[in-house]
């Protein structure tokens, strides 16, 4: 019996989608990112995506359903704020400080914002008795690969699309936050 199955891989791909979108925007901002920035973004996003399900799992063991009542609002607010800042800066034609986009503080904020859903996933994993360490390792590794690749792809696409790439990335993050909010409020009712 495999420790990590298809379900875990699908979960990892789903959870890494928002980190991939954020990485595309960071790569587009940097124009021609090298392997260093790609690895830096991938590492931070991967570590957050690996750690958050474990934290959610631990919390799920202790307080279960209380966290699920607000996780979607936190994800919505953080993703909307980050995405709105990106889109607003692109719309105004202002040069974005791309160096700060991959600075540790900015990466930590983006890593947290894009991993709230991974935190929320940890709660039902606790209720199902999942093998959390193996699952978290797969989620973190997939996110690392998707995020590092996203920076490189964003760098290739960014020069062609100019500031529109950043605007699209920002709108994508805002749409993701809205999707999470709708799924957890309107569709869950």
- The residue-averaged pLDDT of 158-166 equals 63
Q: What is the mean pLDDT of the chain?
A: 79
Assess whether pLDDT exceeds 60 at residue 61.
yes
What is the C-alpha separation between 68 and 60, in angstroms, rounded? 9
Assess whether pLDDT exceeds 90 at residue 74.
no
**C-alpha atoms less than 13 angstroms from C-alpha of 99 in its C-beta half-sphere:** 0
- Reported pTM: 0.71
Instruction: Provide the pLDDT for residue 1.
Output: 38
User: Rg (Cα) of the chain, in Å, rounded?
Assistant: 16
Higher pLDDT, 108 or 183: 108
27 contacts 154 by C-beta, under 8 angstroms: yes
Instruction: Provide the pLDDT for residue 146.
Output: 93
Assess whether pLDDT exceeds 90 at residue 33.
no
148 contacts 41 by C-beta, under 8 angstroms: yes
- The residue-averaged pLDDT of 96-115 equals 76
**82-100 pLDDT tens trace:** 678 767 776 776 554 555 5
Assess whether pLDDT exceeds 70 at residue 45.
yes
Residue by residue, DSSP assigns the chain as --SS-HHHHHHHHHHHHHHHHHHHHHHHHHSS--HHHHHHHHHHHHHHHHHHHHHHHHHHHHTTHHHHTTHHHHHHHHHHHHHHHHHHHHHHTPPP-HHHHTSHHHHHHHHHHHTHHHHHHHHHHHHHT--HHHHHHHHHHHHHHHHHHHHHHHHHHHHHHTHHHHHHHHHHHHHHHHHHHHHHHTTT-
Instruction: Provide the pLDDT for residue 73.
Output: 79
């Amino acid at each position: 019996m495999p420790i990590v199955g298809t379900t875990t891989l699908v979960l990892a791909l789903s959870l890494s989608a928002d980190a991939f979108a954020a990485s595309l925007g960071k790569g587009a901002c940097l124009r021609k990112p090298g392997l260093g920035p790609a690895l830096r973004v991938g590492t931070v996003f991967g570590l957050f995506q690996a750690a958050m399900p474990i934290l959610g799992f631990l919390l799920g063991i202790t307080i279960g359903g209380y966290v699920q009542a607000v996780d979607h609002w936190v994800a919505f607010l953080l993703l909307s704020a980050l995405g709105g800042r990106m889109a607003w800066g692109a719309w105004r034609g202002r040069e974005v400080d791309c160096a700060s986009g991959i600075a540790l503080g900015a990466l930590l904020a983006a890593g947290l914002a894009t991993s709230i859903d991974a935190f929320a996933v940890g709660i039902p994993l606790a209720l199902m008795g999942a093998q959390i360490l193996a699952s978290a390792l797969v989620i973190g590794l997939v996110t690392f690969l998707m995020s590092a690749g996203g920076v490189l792809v964003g760098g290739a696409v960014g020069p062609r699309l100019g500031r529109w790439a950043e605007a699209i990335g920002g709108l994508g993050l805002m749409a993701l936050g809205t999707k999470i909010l709708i799924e957890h409020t309107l569709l869950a009712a």
